[in-house]
C-alpha cells in the first residue's frame, strides 16, 4: 500500500475554500453594496485579492516551519512570552469565531427554514455534529471537505447561472463614478467576508506533499474570490445596490427568484439552504478544529480530541450570548476585525522569520 499519510493537496484546497464559504455567502452582497454601492463588485474582487496575498504570506510563513502550527512557530518568531500571548489570542479568536458562526448559522436556519424550532436545538445538534467530526481527526475533516466541495460549488454556480439572464447591465454604468476612494475605504470590511483562510496556518504539519501547498492553498482562496465576485455582480445587477443593502440574506432572495420547470420546485431557496448547511458545517468544523488544536498546542499536549468535548459547551455558551441580531452583528464585526488582524500579522511574522533565518545563515 502506498502510504497515504496526511492530507492531499486537493484536500487543502477544499478545506481552505469551504472554511471561507460559510455564513458570509448569505450576506456578502449586502455588506458589499452597503460599503461601496455599485462598486461593491470591484471591492469584493480587490478585497479577495488582498486576502489572496495574505493567504500567500500565511502559507509562505507556514512553510518556513513545516512541522509546526502557528501556535508553535509564533513562539519561535516572537519569542516565548509574546508568542504565548499571540497563541492565546488565536485560541480566543478561534473559540469566539466558532461561536459566532454557529450563532449566525442558527439565526439563519431559524429565520429561513425552521421558524418554530428553538434556536438552542439547532445550535446543540449542530455542535454535536461538529464535535463528532472534529474528534474524528484532520484526515476525516479533510475527506469531508473534499466530498462536500463539488456539491456546494455546483449549487452556488447553478444558482448564479439560473439568474444570470436577469442581470441588467445598465446598473453598472455607474461603476467607478466616485473613483477608487469608496473601494479602498471598504476593502477592510469586505476582506472580513473571506475570513477562514487562516486555517492554512494549522495545516502544514499534516500535508503530505508540502511543495505544492502554496499553489493549492491559494487555489482555495481563488475559488471563493470567483464565487463571491460573481455572486455580488449578479445580485447588484438584478436588485441594484440600494435594495441589496437593505436585505438581510440577499443570496436567499436570489434563490427564491427561481421557479424551476413550471414550478416543479416552488421554493428553490429551501433547496439552496439545505445545501448551504453543508457549507456552514464545514466552516464551523474548521474553526472548531482550530480552537481545539490551538488550545492543546498552547498547553503543550498532543491529543486534542478530549478537548473537543470541553470546548463544545464553551462555544455554545458564547453563542447564546447575543440577545438579538443587532448584538450579533456587533459581535460579528469585532470577531471579523480580530481575524483580519491575525491575517495581517502573518506579514511581519514572515519578515521577522526571514531575518532570523538569514541571521542564522550568516553566522
Partner 1 sequence: MKVIRRKNPNNRKTIEERQSPKPKSEDRVSIPLSKDLKENLGKFKAFLEESADAVFREFKLGVTGIPCALVYIDGLTDKNVIHEAILKPMMYEVSELNQDRSLSLDHDLVFDFVKEHAVTVADIKEVECLDKAMLFVMSGEAVLLIDGFDKVLVISTRGWPARGVNNPEDEEVIRGPKEGFTETLRVNTALIRRKCKDPNMVIKTITLGRRSKTDVAYVYIKGITREELVKEVEERLNKIDIDQVIDSGQLEQLIQDNNMTPFPQVQATERPDKTVAGLLEGRVAILVDNSPYALIVPATFNQFFQSPEDYNERWILSSFIRLLRWISSFVAVFTPAIYIAILTYHPSLIPTKLALSISASRSGVPFPSLIEALLMESTLELLRESGARLPKAIGQTIGIVGGLIIGDAAVRAGITSPITVVIVAITAIASFVIPTYSTAIGLRTMRFPLMILAGFLGLYGVVIGFILLNIHMASIKSFGVEFMTPQSPIIIHDLRDFVIRAPYMAMKRRPVETDPIDMIRMDMD
Give the residues lining the site for partner 1 (CB under 8 A): 1-2, 4, 8, 10-11, 109, 113-114, 117, 121-122, 125-126, 129, 132-133, 136-137, 140, 142-144, 146-148, 263-267, 270-271, 273-274, 277-278, 281
Give the N- to C-terminal CA distance of the chain in Å, as an integer. Answer: 44
Beta-strand runs (E) in 102-180? none
Closest to partner 1 by CB, 147 vs 175, is: 147
Q: In 3D, which of 180, 199, 164, 191 has the Cα closest to residue 340?
A: 191
Closer Cβ to partner 1, 100 or 145, answer by number: 145
Q: Which residues contact 356 (CB under 8 A, 6 or more apart)?
A: 76, 77
Are the C-beta atoms of residues 216 and 10 closer than 8 Å to each other?
yes
Q: How far is the CB of 56 from partner 1 (least distance, A)?
A: 24
- Tell me the helix, strand and coil percentages in the chain, rounded to 5: 80, 0, 15
Minimum distance from CB of 225 to partner 1 (Å)? 22
Q: How far apart are CA 123 and CA 102, in angstroms?
A: 7
Between 140 and 325, CB nearer to partner 1: 140
Least distance from partner 1 to the Cβ atom of residue 246, Å: 24
Closest CB to partner 1 among residues 68, 256: 256
Nearest approach, Cβ of 146 to partner 1 (angstroms)? 4
Angle, helices 80-112/70-78, rounded to nearest 10 degrees: 140
Smaller CB distance to partner 1: residue 262 or 363?
Answer: 262
Q: SS in 3 state form for 245-262? A: HHCCCHHHHHHHCCCECC
**Nearer Cβ to partner 1 (226/270):** 270
Which residue's CB is nearer to partner 1, number 86 or number 148? 148
CA distance 159 to 252: 10
Nearest to 204 by CA among 336, 73, 52: 73
Task: Tell the smallest beta-carbon distance from residue 168 to partner 1 (Å).
Answer: 28
79: phi then psi, degrees, rounded to nearest 5: 90, 165
Query: Which CB atom, from 172 or from 275, has the smaller least distance to partner 1?
Result: 275
Question: Shortest Cβ distance from residue 17 to partner 1 (Å)?
Answer: 14
Specify whether the CB–CB gap between 126 and 281 falls below 8 A.
yes
**CB 251, min distance to partner 1, A:** 17
Nearest-angstrom CA–CA distance, 242 and 353: 46
Task: Name the maximum alpha-carbon separation found in the chain.
Answer: 75
Cell of 174: 455607474
Shortest Å distance, C-beta 266 to partner 1: 6
- 125 vs 177 by CB, closer to partner 1: 125
Q: Could you tell me the smallest distance in angstroms from the CB atom of residue 2 to partner 1?
A: 4
Q: 7: helix, coil or strand?
A: strand
Amino acid at each position: 500500500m502506498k502510504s497515504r499519510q496526511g492530507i492531499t493537496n486537493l484536500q487543502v484546497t477544499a478545506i481552505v475554500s469551504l472554511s471561507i464559504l460559510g455564513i458570509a455567502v448569505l450576506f456578502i452582497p449586502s455588506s458589499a453594496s452597503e460599503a461601496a454601492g455599485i462598486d461593491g463588485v470591484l471591492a469584493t474582487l480587490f478585497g479577495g485579492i488582498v486576502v489572496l496575498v495574505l493567504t500567500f504570506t500565511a502559507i509562505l510563513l507556514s512553510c518556513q516551519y513545516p512541522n509546526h502550527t502557528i501556535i508553535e512557530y509564533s513562539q519561535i518568531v516572537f519569542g516565548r512570552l509574546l508568542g504565548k500571548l499571540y497563541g492565546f489570542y488565536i485560541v480566543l479568536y478561534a473559540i469566539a469565531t466558532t461561536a459566532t458562526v454557529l450563532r449566525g448559522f442558527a439565526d439563519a436556519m431559524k429565520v429561513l427554514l425552521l421558524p418554530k424550532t428553538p434556536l438552542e436545538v439547532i445550535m446543540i445538534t449542530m455542535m454535536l455534529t461538529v464535535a463528532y467530526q472534529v474528534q474524528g481527526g484532520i484526515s476525516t475533516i479533510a475527506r469531508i471537505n473534499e466530498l462536500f466541495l463539488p456539491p456546494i460549488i455546483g449549487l452556488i454556480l447553478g444558482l448564479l447561472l439560473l439568474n444570470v439572464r436577469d442581470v441588467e447591465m445598465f446598473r453598472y454604468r455607474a461603476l467607478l463614478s466616485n473613483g477608487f476612494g469608496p473601494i479602498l475605504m471598504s476593502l477592510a470590511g469586505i476582506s472580513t467576508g473571506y475570513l477562514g483562510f487562516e486555517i492554512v496556518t494549522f495545516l502544514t504539519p499534516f500535508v503530505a506533499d508540502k511543495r505544492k501547498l502554496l499553489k493549492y492553498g491559494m487555489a482555495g482562496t481563488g475559488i471563493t474570490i470567483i464565487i463571491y465576485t460573481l455572486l455580488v455582480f449578479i445580485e447588484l445587477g438584478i436588485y441594484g445596490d440600494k435594495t441589496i443593502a437593505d436585505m438581510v440574506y440577499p443570496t436567499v432572495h436570489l434563490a427564491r427568484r427561481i421557479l424551476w420547470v413550471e414550478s416543479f420546485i416552488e421554493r428553490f431557496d429551501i433547496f439552496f439552504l439545505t445545501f448551504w448547511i453543508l457549507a456552514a458545517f464545514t466552516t464551523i468544523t474548521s474553526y472548531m478544529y482550530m480552537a481545539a488544536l490551538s488550545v492543546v498546542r498552547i498547553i503543550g499536549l498532543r491529543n486534542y480530541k478530549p478537548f473537543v468535548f470541553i470546548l463544545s459547551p464553551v462555544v455554545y455558551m458564547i453563542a447564546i450570548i447575543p440577545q438579538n441580531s443587532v448584538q450579533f452583528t456587533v459581535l460579528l464585526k469585532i470577531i471579523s476585525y480580530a481575524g483580519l488582524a491575525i491575517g495581517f500579522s502573518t506579514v511581519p511574522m514572515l519578515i521577522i522569520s526571514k531575518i532570523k533565518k538569514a541571521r542564522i545563515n550568516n553566522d
